[in-house]
Structure formats: C-alpha cells, structure tokens
C-alpha cells in the first residue's frame, strides 16, 4: 500500500471542513423548523393562551394532560428559545404576550398559519412545474397575515408615525370619500375609520372567503355605516369622479390586471384626487436576502409581480395618466403619491 500524500490529506481535511460548514447551516434550519413545529403544536393545544397568565408546572401539567417530565422538558425548550420565562411559574415573555394579545397588529395565530402555507408553497414550487395553487382558505391566511387588524395599537401607529409622514391622506379623508382597492381584510381602512369619524370609504375585494372575514371585522368595529365592502373584480368598479383618495394593494394584483385596475382608479378619483401605493419589497441587504428570495419564489409562483420599486410603481401609474406628486419615506416603507390631473 502507498501512503496517502500530504497534499491529498490536506485536500480531504479541507473538504471535511467545508462539509462541516454546510452541516452547520442545515442544523440552523433544523433548529428553526423544530421550534416552529413545537410552538405551532402547543398553540393548537391552547398553551399560548393559557400561558398569558403565570402558571405553576403542576397546573400546566394538569392542563396539558402530559407527563410531568415531558412538560418540564417542553418548558425548558420554550424558555431556551425565548417564548416563556420560568422561575417559580411559567408564562409567556413580554414580547410573545404582546404577539398573542387581541390587539396585536398581526398575531401569533396569523403568523403561524402563514408559515405553514409558505412552507407548503415552497415545496410545491420545487415539485411541480405549474403555477402555485392558492385556494380561498389560503388567500384568507395571506390576507390575515399581511393586512393586520384595526386595534388601539394600529391606531397609535397610524396616528403617531404614518399619517404625519403623509398628511395628504388625512386632509383628503376629511373632505372626500376613500377607496381601498384589493382591501384584503381592510386593516388600513378600518384603522382609518377608527381614527376619523368622518371617513366614508368603499373597499373592493375579489375573493368571497376573504370578504366574509372583512365584513365580520367591519361589523365588529361598528363602522359598517361608513365602510361599504364590495365583492368584485376591481376592474369592473364603475364609479367615476367620486373619490378624493385611494389605496391600491398592488403586490396582490397579477401583471395582466394591473393596467386596467389603475385605469379604473384614475376614473374613480375626482380631478386632483391622490392614489397612494406602497413599495412592499425593497431590495434587501445581505442579511435579508435569504428570506427575500423565498418570498419572491412564492409570489412569482402565484403569478404576481414581486419587489417592484417605488420608481417602477410610479412608471406604472404615470403610463395610464397619473402625475407623480412625490415619493414619501415613511416608517412603513416608501409610499408613492400620484394624482389625477386637474
């Protein structure tokens, strides 16, 4: 037998180190997947609601129906991952308690449901050549996880951060009707309705399952006399010269619908009316690139444009007759303001 050369040994050691780096990456993926699976399972069992109050291990054991040793190990895993605190009692950390609270902008349930949907979508994208399926229940999950809910928290966000940065919106709400195009669960419209008792709005939603949840929220907030929900294709909306302001949920509109939708909004606004369009997916820094790439994979599998910049959104709107007013930098990202010419 011939001895292995020193250079060959060095090469093998280098390959071992490279494989170790990849294993570390995979281990981080596995750790994250395990925590997500654990929290989802315990959410389904009611733990995240039960632990909004301090509980002893004995009380948690009785609640769960699991062996005491298992409960202790579960609590240890949750504590190590920042979900609960454990001293003499167990309870959610302050951050997770805020995420579970009824007034959370987007709550834990919505975030976990979205994670299950996106995990299924990326697997489907790798296994099947066709468009990614988006059922009505899937659309509702997406709407809930992106649209947020109207609450004292969201009203404070809008009042203290968002509206001072685009004062044109508040001015127009006081004088003219507001149009929400592709409203989803109408988080923006219902939040504005809570801030402005004189708001009169119309919200357009295509998918009946989503619209049913939207109407439920409108009714629960007691703003049904001021927010009119219409279940329809936005391109078919035919009111003209009727609105002072409009918001377009542009990330959810496929390429083939965008021009006709913008043309409809242009007609619906009165001369001088303003359309607000949000840049949703700016190009990330290096740290944000992995999750950005996954979101792009799913969005484009659904057939909707992804990552259009404020400048590209401006070009879309100007092409159908809008005029650029300004691009505003807000705490919610860049907002394009375009107007219907006088």
Per-residue model confidence as pLDDT tens digits over 171-228: 999 999 999 999 999 999 999 999 999 999 999 999 999 999 999 999 999 999 999 9
**pLDDT at position 43:** 97
Phi, psi of 41 (to 5 degrees): -65, -45
Query: Is 281:251 a contact under the CB 8 Å cutoff?
Result: yes
CA 150/CA 189 separation, integer angstroms? 9
Question: What are the Cα distances from residue 182, in Å, to 49, 72, 99, 174, 326?
Answer: 32, 46, 26, 22, 23
pTM: 0.90
Q: What is the mean pLDDT of residues 299-315?
A: 95
Read off the tokens for 92. 């959610």
Q: Are 159 and 195 in contact (CB under 8 A)?
A: yes
pLDDT in tens, 120-173: 999 999 999 999 999 999 999 999 999 999 999 999 999 999 999 999 999 999
Taking the C-alpha atoms of residue 236 and residue 203, their distance in angstroms, rounded to an integer, is 13
Rounded Cα distance between 218 and 310, Å, is: 30
Query: Domains in the chain and their CATH numbers?
Result: 6-100 (1.10.10.10), 136-339 (3.40.50.150)
Confidence of residue 6 (pLDDT cuts 50, 70, 90): confident
Of the candidate ranges 1-5, 222-226, 300-304, the one whose mean pLDDT is the lowest: 1-5
* pLDDT above 80 for 3: no
CB 336 within 8 A of CB 279: yes
**Mean per-residue pLDDT over the chain, rounded:** 96
> Token digits for 267?
């007609």
Token pair of 330 as six digits? 């807000």
In the predicted model, is pLDDT for residue 2 greater than 80?
Answer: no
Q: Label the pairing between strands 333-339 and 90-92.
A: unpaired
């Amino acid at each position: 037998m011939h001895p292995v050369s020193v250079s060959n040994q060095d090469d093998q050691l280098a390959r071992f180190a490279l494989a170790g780096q990849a294993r570390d990456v995979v281990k981080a993926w596995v750790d994250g997947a395990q925590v997500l699976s654990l929290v989802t399972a315990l959410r389904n069992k009611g733990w995240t609601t039960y632990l909004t109050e301090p509980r002893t291990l004995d009380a948690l054991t009785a609640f769960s129906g699991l062996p005491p040793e298992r409960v202790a190990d579960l609590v240890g895993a949750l504590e190590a991952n920042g979900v609960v605190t454990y001293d003499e009692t167990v309870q959610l950390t302050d951050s997770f308690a805020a995420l579970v609270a009824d007034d959370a902008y987007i709550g834990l349930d919505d975030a976990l449901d979205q994670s299950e949907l996106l995990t299924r979508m990326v697997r489907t994208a790798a296994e099947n050549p066709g468009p990614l399926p988006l059922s009505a229940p899937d659309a509702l999950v997406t709407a809930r996880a992106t649209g947020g809910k109207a609450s004292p928290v969201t009203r404070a966000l809008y009042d203290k951060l968002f509206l001072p940065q685009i004062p044109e919106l508040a001015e127009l709400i006081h004088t003219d009707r507001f149009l929400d195009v592709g409203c989803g669960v109408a988080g923006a419209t219902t939040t504005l309705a809570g801030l402005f008792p004189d708001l009169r709005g119309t919200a357009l939603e295509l998918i009946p399952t989503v619209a049913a949840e939207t109407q439920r929220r409108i009714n629960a907030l007691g703003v049904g006399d001021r927010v009119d929900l219409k279940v329809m294709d936005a391109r078919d909306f035919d009111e003209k010269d009727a609105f002072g302001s409009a918001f377009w949920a542009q990330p959810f509109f496929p390429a083939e619908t965008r021009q006709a939708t913008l043309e409809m909004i242009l007609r619906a606004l009165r001369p001088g009316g303003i359309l607000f369009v949000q840049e949703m997916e700016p190009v990330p820094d290096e740290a944000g690139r992995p999750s950005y790439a996954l979101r792009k994979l799913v969005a484009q599998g659904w057939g909707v444009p992804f990552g259009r910049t404020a400048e590209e959104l401006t070009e879309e709107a100007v092409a159908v007759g809008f005029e650029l007013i300004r691009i505003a930098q807000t705490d919610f990202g860049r907002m394009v303001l375009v107007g219907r010419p006088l």
